[in-house]
Structure 1
Amino acid sequence: MDKLKYFWSKTNRWHRVIALFVLVELKVIPGGQLGFQCNDPALSHPYTGDTISWKWLMGITLLLPLVIMLIVERQCNGSEKNDLNKKNALRWYKEYVYGVLINLTIVQTLKLIVGSPRPHFFDTCQPEEAITCVGSDYISSYTCTKAYWLSQSDKSFPSGHTSLGLHAALFIAYYLHRRGASVGRGVVGGAQIVCVLCAAWCGVSRVQDRRHHWWDVLAGAVIAAPILFYTIKSLCKDFSCTNITNEVRQEEAKPLDNNSQ
């Protein structure tokens, strides 16, 4: 116990959430598996791919907020404060990434624990038990026959695309509300609308692609809301520059103090 406490004291919040994420991805944590009813039409859709791929989602989610914050902060404070601009953007971006990591960890943990079949479950899993079951029999345990989909056909709940897309979109929209006055109301308003519409489209596409049920999408949105609130209000301090400005002034004052001595 003492060694565990010592190890815990040597870690920070980043270490802990990354460690949990790795444990989930390695399936060290026991997973669950929801069963299915024979010939359930909700699970009988063909697999048609993703309108928004996972790689595109992660790329946009991770890069777009940084680009927007760097541009806005440069316009906000003027060229004479470029160092402060960069500190503002990078500090908030670091906390944003931490929030995304929390979001992703919670989503992946729930996917593993719940084990909910996707709408294309029969097409991609092709469980052995579905061949012999009849009527509305409920199968509580099954084995997929398609190797590639062994760990994917039962990861429907909740929707990670929706949760991450909404997290990024609302983060950008609120950031622009707080810090985007220097770039013009029209530009800010247009960007906010585009972000929200893209997040909504991301969620709708998951249902249209038959990758998730509607309740998976709703759950993804619900998960994103408190994590986003925590990220903005607690981690990013509501995008206030006061603390960062004071730190910069203290750093700039140190050489002066040394010279005066």
Structure 2
Amino acid sequence: MDKLCTRIFGYTKFLWSKSNRWHKGFLIFALIETRIFPGGQVGFHCNDPALSHPYTGDTISWKLLLATVIILPLVVMLIVERKYHTNKRIKPKDQALYWYREYLFGVLLNLITIQLMKSIVGSPRPHFFDTCSPKEALTCEGSEYIESYTCTKAHWLNQSDRSFPSGHTSLAFHAAIYLAYYISNRSKAKSASIIAIQLVLLTSAAFCSVSRMSDHRHHWWDVVAGAAISLPLLWYTIRNLCKNFDCSVSDEEAENLKNGTGAYVKT
């Protein structure tokens, strides 16, 4: 048995060492989503009004959010590079696609962080009683605290306790601030149109955040946490992955970008 475990561990370690950052990221994300590892579960107070809101759906669905977060940056970066790109050794499209790929990896890191924290904390959503219908709530009285519970609505078994932090908020701010900074950095201008675009981006992210509270999908502290989590991940994405949008690359790096290898390391 020990030999078998050693072999499995060795084989797993070998595959991990041979996989790239994308494979590792998607694997970690998949393991979190399958919930094969036990997570946390915050209890509830009986008749807690903060958890008694009805479920009314989403003003901004996950599909719309992900479509915006994935597609909009690509469109914006292709347009901006076509207008402002000056390095003749690199095609505007190649430069835009490189930064876009790094941006997507930052989004993946954001998703991993958010979903991991949701799994660890296990915080009930504002519509907890409506969608989970814990059987323990049927007999509890007053403001008694229930440490452990079991949802009776199968469809919501893996969702009613994933309130903290807000993934919508984190992704919305991640995309909005990234694009606002990118446009400012590449245009090198403070024109009214650039400022207007930046305000639209940030306002859209704020609207998405507020909608999560008005829809009673998250508590206010979930939204604040989601926005706060996006900031260090944004810093890493912009400074480390995108090299602060610096175009001064070597001939070798320019060739790598042209070939799509992404081996872009600023010295």
TM-score by length of 1: 0.90
Cross-structure match for 1:149: 156
Whether the 8 Å contact between 2:90 and 2:257 is mirrored in structure 1 is no
Residue 174 (structure 1) shift: 0.3
**CA shift in 2, pair 1:132/1:212, >3 Å:** same
Is 1:75 aligned to residue 62 of structure 2? no
| Percent of pairs with identical residues | 57
Residues of 1 paired with 2:89 and 2:65: CA distance?
30
Structure 1 letter corresponding to 2:117? L
Q: Matched residue pairs, number?
A: 250
Whether the 8 Å contact between 1:103 and 1:224 is mirrored in structure 2 is yes
Cross-structure match for 1:258: none
Is 1:243 aligned to residue 238 of structure 2? no
SS of the equivalent of 2:249 reads: helix
Cross-structure match for 1:60: 68
Residues of 1 paired with 2:256 and 2:139: CA distance?
74
**CA deviations over 1:217-256 (Å, ceiling 9, x no partner):** 011011100000000000000001112766336999xxxx
Residue 56 (structure 1) shift: 0.4
Residues of 2 paired with 1:251 and 1:151: CA distance?
41
The one of 200, 204, 215 equivalent to 1:209 is 215
Cross-structure match for 2:226: 220
Residues of 1 paired with 2:141 and 2:110: CA distance?
40
**CA deviations over 1:93-148 (Å, ceiling 9, x no partner):** 00000000000011011111111000010111111111100011111111111121
Whether the 8 Å contact between 1:84 and 1:248 is mirrored in structure 2 is no
**CA deviations over 1:44-99 (Å, ceiling 9, x no partner):** 11111111111000000001011000001001137x95961011100000000000
Is 1:92 aligned to residue 89 of structure 2? no
The one of 133, 137, 149 equivalent to 1:130 is 137
Whether the 8 Å contact between 1:127 and 1:143 is mirrored in structure 2 is yes
**CA shift in 2, pair 1:172/1:250, >3 Å:** closer
Is 1:120 aligned to residue 127 of structure 2? yes
Is 1:39 aligned to residue 38 of structure 2? no
TM-score by length of 2: 0.88
Structure 1 letter corresponding to 2:248? T
Residues of 2 paired with 1:83 and 1:217: CA distance?
40
Cross-structure match for 2:261: none
Residues of 1 paired with 2:84 and 2:59: CA distance?
36
Write 1 or 2 for the structure with the bigger share of helix: 1
Please show how residues 170-189 of structure 1 align to structure 2 within 5 Å.
Answer: 170-181=177-188, 185-189=191-195
Whether the 8 Å contact between 1:87 and 1:244 is mirrored in structure 2 is no
The two structures, once aligned, show a CA RMSD in angstroms of 2.1
Residue 12 (structure 1) shift: 1.8
Residues of 2 paired with 1:34 and 1:198: CA distance?
31
Whether the 8 Å contact between 1:203 and 1:217 is mirrored in structure 2 is yes
Structure 1 letter corresponding to 2:100? Y
Residue 191 (structure 1) shift: 0.7
Cross-structure match for 1:102: 109
